């Protein structure tokens, strides 16, 4: 009897060592939960738990994007968007302080994948011919910091924090307490990485830069074998819509800085910091640079290709085939759901960056996904676009803002003539005006109260877009 008890105890401790207490607790609720995963959907559910309506608001936004498609007014289909990136490398141990070459390799992987210039596109199956394309989104390391000083686009911060996921204060069998701790503490712990005062690296203006934080996102579990559990390879804050969303949603998001969080093992390629046991199966799968591609896809509005559900779930993209579940880091060629795209019932798209498929088969975004990303950049992350697409000085000053009637526009660039257009959030043009050889004009803004975009195009080719609040 003593031998049986010892064997059983070893089996329990072996399970915990392989998966960690959090995964064990979650597996009782969802046995098919992947050992490692992207945390973006989990984070959205966490926000929904705090607000009660975030997921429905976000789904409404995605349905609107799905119906509206491209915002033609400002961003043409052939315009290449350039996004400056700042990488925050937050390290406690030398191995986490990844060399510049790894960051540069990751940037190259981002550009190759978003521009569809990666060599493995030749592996795309003929089923998806004509559905995939070049997103015409490219990334550069930031050349100036928020103070206007030259920068390499890489910030390095030493920290005293070993595990940004925090320390789990519970032990084997306390699953209810563990799940509650995840909901109450885990996400706040992770986002310590985005602020100096919490041991991380403070965000650069998200209206100007895409912020990517790299650090140790594990959870320390001292009560069972000192396990360091990896729950998420990465996590991304989603677009949150517009100011008309309820104040409680906006208030909750103020606690979470906008950007991408990545576990330091998941950056790549050629990362010298490899996954250790029990996660060695992810070496060569999760450190090729495509995890960051996946997370940046979330930042620009994409959902997981299987819709985080069964065959009835939707990712709000018309040309991605439905799937019954994630591919769980494999490349099995299944057709788990019946659907019709261009007259065909297509198989699971393991080639898609928004699946959890192996990096050896993951190689493309669909054209529908590209439309969504460009729409989201143009509408929900538009300050990033207006500052960084052309990296230019302002054309005009617009005031008062908010406005309850007239606005004044003072032109300050060297353009003589300007075209002014005002759009609502759906991309519908409300009014347009051409101004010849004038330094200042007034325009009527007696529209329905809400948020609008003012676009000013100068004859020197410069473009300025600015939010306008009408009261």
- Model confidence pLDDT, tens digit, residues 96-123: 999 999 999 999 999 999 999 988 999 9
Domains of the chain: 2-385 (3.40.390.10), 394-470 (2.60.40.3080)
Question: Which residue pairs, CB below 8 angstroms and at least 24 apart, start in 150-154?
Answer: 151/86, 152/100, 153/84, 153/85, 153/86, 153/87, 154/86, 154/87, 154/89, 154/100, 154/103
pLDDT given for residue 224 in this prediction? 83
Q: Tell me: the pLDDT tens digits for 26-60?
A: 888 777 777 789 999 999 999 999 998 999 999 98
Pairing relationship of beta strands 227-229 and 232-236 according to DSSP bridges: unpaired
Give me the mean pLDDT over the 372-386 stretch: 81
Residues 6 or more apart from 455 whose CB is under 8 A from it? Answer: 73, 74, 420, 421, 422, 423, 463, 464, 465
Average pLDDT, the chain: 87
pLDDT higher than 80, residue 257: yes
Determine contact, residues 66/307, Cβ cutoff 8 Å. Answer: no
Tell me the pLDDT band of 391, cut-offs 50, 70 and 90: very low
7 SS3 class = helix
Give me the mean pLDDT over the 229-241 stretch: 92
pLDDT higher than 80, residue 203: yes
CA contacts within 13 A on the Cβ side of 327: 27
Q: Which residue has the tokens 């005062």?
A: 197
- Give DSSP secondary structure letters for 377-399: HHHTSHHHHHHHTT-----EEEE
pLDDT higher than 80, residue 318: yes
Determine contact, residues 453/423, Cβ cutoff 8 Å. Answer: yes
Element (H, E) at 290: helix 290-299
User: What's the CA gap between 413 and 427, in Å, rounded?
Assistant: 26
Q: Which tokens sit at 404?
A: 């309850």
| Highest-confidence segment of 1-10, 236-245, 258-267, 376-385 | 258-267
In angstroms, how far is CA 36 from the centroid of its own chain? 17
Length of the chain: 471
**286, 453, 299: which is closest to 379 by C-alpha?**
453
pLDDT given for residue 291 in this prediction? 96
Q: Tell me: the pLDDT tens digits for 347-356?
A: 999 999 999 9
pLDDT given for residue 243 in this prediction? 60
Q: Where are the alpha helices (DSSP H) in 20-131?
A: 21-29, 40-51, 54-68, 100-114
pTM above 0.85, yes or no: no
Q: Which residues of 283-298 are buried (b: 16+ CB within 10 A; e: fewer)?
A: eebbbbbbbbbbbbbb
User: What's the CA gap between 236 and 253, in Å, rounded?
Assistant: 12
């Amino acid at each position: 009897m003593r031998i049986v008890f010892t064997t059983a105890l070893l089996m329990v401790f072996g399970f915990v060592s392989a998966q960690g207490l959090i995964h064990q607790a979650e597996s009782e609720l969802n046995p098919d939960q992947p050992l490692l995963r992207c945390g973006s959907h989990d984070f959205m559910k966490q926000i929904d738990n705090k607000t009660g309506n975030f997921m429905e608001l976000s789904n409404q936004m995605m349905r609107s994007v799905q119906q509206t498609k491209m915002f033609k007014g400002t961003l043409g289909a052939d315009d290449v968007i350039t996004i400056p990136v700042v990488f925050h490398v937050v390290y406690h141990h030398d191995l986490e302080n990844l060399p510049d070459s790894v960051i540069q390799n990751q940037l190259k992987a981002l550009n190759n994948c978003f521009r569809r210039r990666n060599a493995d596109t030749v592996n795309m199956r003929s089923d998806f011919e004509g559905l995939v394309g070049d997103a015409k989104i490219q990334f550069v390391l930031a050349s100036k910091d928020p103070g206007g000083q030259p920068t390499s686009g890489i910030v390095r911060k030493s920290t005293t924090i070993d595990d940004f996921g925090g320390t789990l204060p519970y032990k084997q069998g306390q699953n209810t307490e563990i799940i509650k701790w995840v909901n109450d503490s885990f996400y706040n712990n992770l986002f310590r990485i985005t602020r100096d005062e919490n041991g991380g690296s403070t965000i650069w203006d998200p209206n100007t830069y895409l912020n990517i934080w790299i650090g140790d996102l594990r959870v320390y579990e001292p009560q069972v074998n000192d396990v360091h559990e990896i729950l998420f390879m990465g996590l991304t804050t989603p677009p949150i819509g517009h100011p008309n969303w309820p104040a409680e949603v906006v208030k909750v998001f103020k606690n979470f800085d906008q950007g991408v969080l990545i576990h330091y093992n998941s950056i790549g390629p050629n990362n010298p910091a490899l996954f250790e046991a029990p996660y060695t199966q992810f070496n060569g799968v999760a450190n090729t640079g495509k995890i960051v591609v996946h997370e940046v896809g979330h930042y620009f509005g994409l959902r997981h290709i299987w819709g985080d559900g069964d065959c009835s779930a939707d990712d709000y993209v018309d040309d991605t085939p439905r799937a019954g579940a994630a591919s769980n880091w494999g490349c099995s060629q299944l057709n788990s759901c019946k659907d019709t795209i261009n007259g065909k019932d297509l198989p699971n798209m393991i080639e898609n960056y928004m699946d959890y498929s192996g990096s050896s088969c993951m190689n493309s975004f669909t054209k529908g996904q590209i439309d969504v990303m460009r729409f989201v950049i143009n509408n929900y992350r538009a300050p990033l676009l207006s500052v960084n697409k052309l990296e230019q000085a302002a054309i005009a000053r617009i005031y008062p803002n908010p406005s309850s009637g007239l606005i004044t526009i003072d032109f300050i660039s060297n353009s003589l003539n300007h075209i002014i257009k005002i759009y609502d959030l759906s991309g519908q043009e409300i009014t347009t005006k051409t101004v010849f050889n004038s330094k200042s004009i007034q325009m009527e803004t007696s529209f329905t109260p809400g948020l609008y975009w003012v676009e000013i195009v100068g004859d020197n080719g410069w473009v300025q877009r600015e939010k306008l609040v009408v009261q």
